């Protein structure tokens, strides 16, 4: 994570002392949605921060043969405008560094032509064959793109060559293994950057800092002091226009196997021996491998029915455009994980994620053990509230630790109040995840990318649930999932905690 290594300020100036080596950034899928919404704006912001250096170029590759360099330059400007960038920011786009290469068939000839074009651009900008290839492509085309790059000798160069692979990484354990084999036939693991954009979020990275820079918490971070952990990754949106993808995927593949698994790993992992990429990733792999096989009894699948979002009536999942009206695809998953480690034995990790929940919220709630006795009983108060630490990863990034205090005066009463901190109050704007991750690709830092073994360990854990006989419970759009999700916790005498709200303090 480049930002951590730099001696820089927080917020918008983060990274300002970073410089990457001269390079060519190649996007396969260069006129797609991801390029438009995320990659081009992130590269533009990095350029504004003056971290990319002067010797660089970007080459977009896509099927369209009608497009050319000029067409792409205009399109790129439109993308920045659509991403809400200021006029000044858009004007500063350095068009002379942007190129477009058509790839009409995706056959070997196209890759030969690509290799020639790359050499030509490198010659024009005096670039030393440092190349990043970003596969912003539909997953079904990953393999042929990897083969194509290798067939034209683009998997190695006199400088460095890096391959960035977007999610989803496989559809199950077997396909993830196959994709890893395919990648490793032509690229070594240290060339590969598997993206999980959650790892680029500042607050997700901060989980490591929170745990390992604050021994006060780390010393409590175990079964002796923690009673349970809850992880909520909630979205208020539905499936938008992604029915084609989502109906074949569902929440388990779309969110749990990747984003949620990463959060579980970061909360549960052991202290890495060093802060090097391999050490951090190794601890995550170990943790994922130590989670007990999940019983289907401990999983609840849900699908949203008609309801409301933002006060408006919204259709049910089966009524969404492009969804099979008989579909059994889950838009919500809740489950209990048992981490079979010395540290976590007996501490349930409850996880829930879904679409069309009441609001967008990613929050980790760590509940500590309640006081062992009612010391204040003689004062008419039996306070058994445990301390709860809420780590809010989005949208109101920050944390709150609930503690009990005495209410001044009589009668003797206690009140639970938060010790809290919110990023926006202190640091202002937070860099976008893609900005962080692209800079890491260009500086060669793999800490925030998913290792081959990590992707497989996560599929090994969650993959069997894809095969299991399942019941999908309906929930009203705008509710916190089906009642069965509450019953799941009630079995153990627990309940989902009310998410903590950001106190509106004019930020």
Please identify every residue annotated as catalytic.
259
Taking the complex as a whole, the smallest distance from the CB of residue 167 to ligand BG6 amounts, in Å, to: 6
- Closer to ligand BG6 by Cβ: residue 247 or 254: 254
**Pair of tokens at residue 298:** 């401990």
| Calpha distance 17→7 (Å, rounded) | 8
Task: Give ∠ CA 112-117-119 in degrees, rounded to 5.
Answer: 100
**Contact pattern from residue 191 through residue 230 relative to ligand BG6, giving x for each residue in contact according to CB under 6 A and a dash for the rest:** ----------------------------------------
Q: Which of residues 271-310 bind ligand BG6 (CB under 6 A)?
A: none
Contact 268, 287 (CB under 8 A): yes
* Unique residue bearing structure tokens 């539909």: 138
Taking the complex as a whole, the smallest distance from the CB of residue 316 to ligand BG6 amounts, in Å, to: 18
- Closer to ligand BG6 by Cβ: residue 252 or 337: 252
| Calpha distance 106→115 (Å, rounded) | 13
Phi, psi of 35 (to 5 degrees): -60, -45
**Pair of tokens at residue 147:** 């083969």
DSSP code at position 470: -
- The secondary element (H helix, E strand) that includes residue 245 is helix 243-251
**Residue 493: other Cβ atoms inside 10 A:** 6
| Calpha distance 12→133 (Å, rounded) | 27
| Closest among 386, 372, 292 to 338, alpha carbons compared | 292
**Contact pattern from residue 153 through residue 192 relative to ligand BG6, giving x for each residue in contact according to CB under 6 A and a dash for the rest:** --------------x-------------------------
Helix, strand or coil, per DSSP, at residue 422: strand
Where does 27-129 have alpha helices with state H?
33-34, 40-48, 69-82, 87-91, 108-125
* Unique residue bearing structure tokens 């153990």: 492
Taking the complex as a whole, the smallest distance from the CB of residue 32 to ligand BG6 amounts, in Å, to: 14
- Closer to ligand BG6 by Cβ: residue 417 or 429: 429
- Closer to ligand BG6 by Cβ: residue 110 or 235: 235
Taking the complex as a whole, the smallest distance from the CB of residue 198 to ligand BG6 amounts, in Å, to: 7
Taking the complex as a whole, the smallest distance from the CB of residue 256 to ligand BG6 amounts, in Å, to: 11
| Closest among 453, 503, 80 to 265, alpha carbons compared | 453
**Residue 406: other Cβ atoms inside 10 A:** 12
| Calpha distance 276→169 (Å, rounded) | 23
- Closer to ligand BG6 by Cβ: residue 56 or 167: 167
Contact 451, 199 (CB under 8 A): no
* Unique residue bearing structure tokens 């009983």: 377
254: contact with ligand BG6 by CB under 6 A = yes
- Closer to ligand BG6 by Cβ: residue 254 or 453: 254
**Contact pattern from residue 334 through residue 373 relative to ligand BG6, giving x for each residue in contact according to CB under 6 A and a dash for the rest:** ----------------------------------------
Judged by CB under 6 A, the number of residues near ligand BG6 is 3
Contacting residues for 282 by C-beta, under 8 A, at least 6 apart: 272
DSSP code at position 377: G
**Pair of tokens at residue 40:** 């081009």
Taking the complex as a whole, the smallest distance from the CB of residue 235 to ligand BG6 amounts, in Å, to: 5
Counts of helices then strands in the chain (DSSP H, E)? 18, 17
3-state secondary structure labels for all residues of 256-272 = HHHHHHHHHHHHHCCCC
- Closer to ligand BG6 by Cβ: residue 252 or 472: 252
Taking the complex as a whole, the smallest distance from the CB of residue 11 to ligand BG6 amounts, in Å, to: 19
3-state secondary structure labels for all residues of 19-36 = CCCCEEEEEECCCCHHHH
Q: Minimal CB distance to ligand BG6: which residue?
A: 254
- Closer to ligand BG6 by Cβ: residue 3 or 130: 3
- Closer to ligand BG6 by Cβ: residue 167 or 281: 167
Taking the complex as a whole, the smallest distance from the CB of residue 393 to ligand BG6 amounts, in Å, to: 8
| Closest among 72, 89, 92 to 81, alpha carbons compared | 89
Taking the complex as a whole, the smallest distance from the CB of residue 417 to ligand BG6 amounts, in Å, to: 29
Summarize as ranges the residues that interact with ligand BG6 (CB under 6 A).
167, 235, 254
């Amino acid at each position: 994570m480049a930002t951590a290594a730099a001696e820089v300020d927080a917020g918008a100036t983060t990274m300002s002392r970073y410089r990457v080596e001269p390079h060519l950034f190649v996007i396969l899928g260069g006129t797609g949605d991801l390029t438009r919404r995320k990659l081009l704006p992130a590269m533009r912001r990095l350029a504004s921060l003056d971290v990319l250096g002067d010797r660089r170029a970007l080459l977009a590759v896509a099927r369209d043969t009608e497009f050319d360099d000029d067409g792409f330059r205009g399109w790129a400007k439109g993308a920045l405008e659509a991403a809400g960038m200021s006029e000044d920011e858009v004007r500063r786009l350095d068009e002379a560094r942007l190129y477009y290469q058509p790839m009409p068939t995706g056959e070997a000839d196209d890759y030969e032509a690509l290799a020639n074009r790359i050499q030509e651009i490198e010659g024009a900008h005096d670039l030393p064959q440092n190349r990043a290839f970003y596969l912003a492509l539909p997953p079904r085309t990953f393999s042929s793109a990897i083969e194509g790059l290798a067939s034209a000798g683009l998997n190695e160069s006199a400088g460095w060559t890096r391959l960035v692979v977007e999610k989803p990484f496989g559809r199950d354990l077997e396909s993830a293994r196959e994709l890893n084999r395919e990648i490793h036939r032509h690229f070594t693991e240290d060339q590969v950057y598997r993206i999980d954009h959650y790892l680029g979020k500042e607050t997700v990275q901060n989980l490591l800092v929170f745990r390992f820079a604050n021994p006060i918490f780390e010393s409590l971070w175990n079964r002796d002091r923690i009673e349970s952990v809850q992880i909520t990754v909630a979205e208020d949106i539905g499936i938008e226009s992604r029915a084609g993808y989502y109906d074949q995927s569902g929440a388990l593949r779309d969110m749990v196997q990747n984003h949620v698994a990463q959060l579980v790993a970061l909360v549960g992992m052991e202290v890495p021996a060093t802060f090097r990429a391999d050490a951090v990733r190794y601890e995550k792999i170990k943790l994922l491998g130590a989670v007990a096989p999940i019983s289907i009894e401990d999983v609840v699948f849900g699908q949203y029915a008609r309801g409301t979002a933002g006060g408006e009536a919204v259709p049910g999942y089966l009524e969404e455009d492009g969804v099979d009206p008989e579909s059994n695809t889950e838009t919500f998953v809740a489950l209990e994980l048992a981490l079979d480690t010395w540290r976590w034995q007996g501490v349930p990790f409850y996880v829930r994620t879904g679409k069309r929940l009441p609001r967008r919220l990613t929050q980790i709630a760590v509940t500590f053990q309640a006081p062992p006795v009612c010391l204040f009983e003689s004062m008419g108060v039996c306070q058994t509230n445990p301390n709860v630490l809420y780590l809010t990863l989005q949208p109101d990034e920050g944390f709150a630790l609930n503690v009990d205090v005495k209410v001044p005066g009589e009668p003797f009463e206690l009140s639970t109040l938060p010790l809290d901190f919110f990023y926006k109050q202190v640091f202002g704007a937070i860099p976008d995840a893609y900005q962080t991750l692209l800079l890491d690709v260009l500086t060669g830092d793999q800490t925030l990318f998913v290792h081959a073994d990590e992707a497989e360990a996560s599929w090994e854990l969650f993959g069997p649930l894809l095969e299991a006989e399942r019941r999908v419970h309906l929930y009203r759009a705008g509710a916190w999932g089906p009642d069965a999700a509450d019953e799941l916790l009630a079995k153990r005498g627990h309940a989902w905690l009310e998410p903590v709200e950001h106190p509106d303090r004019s930020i």
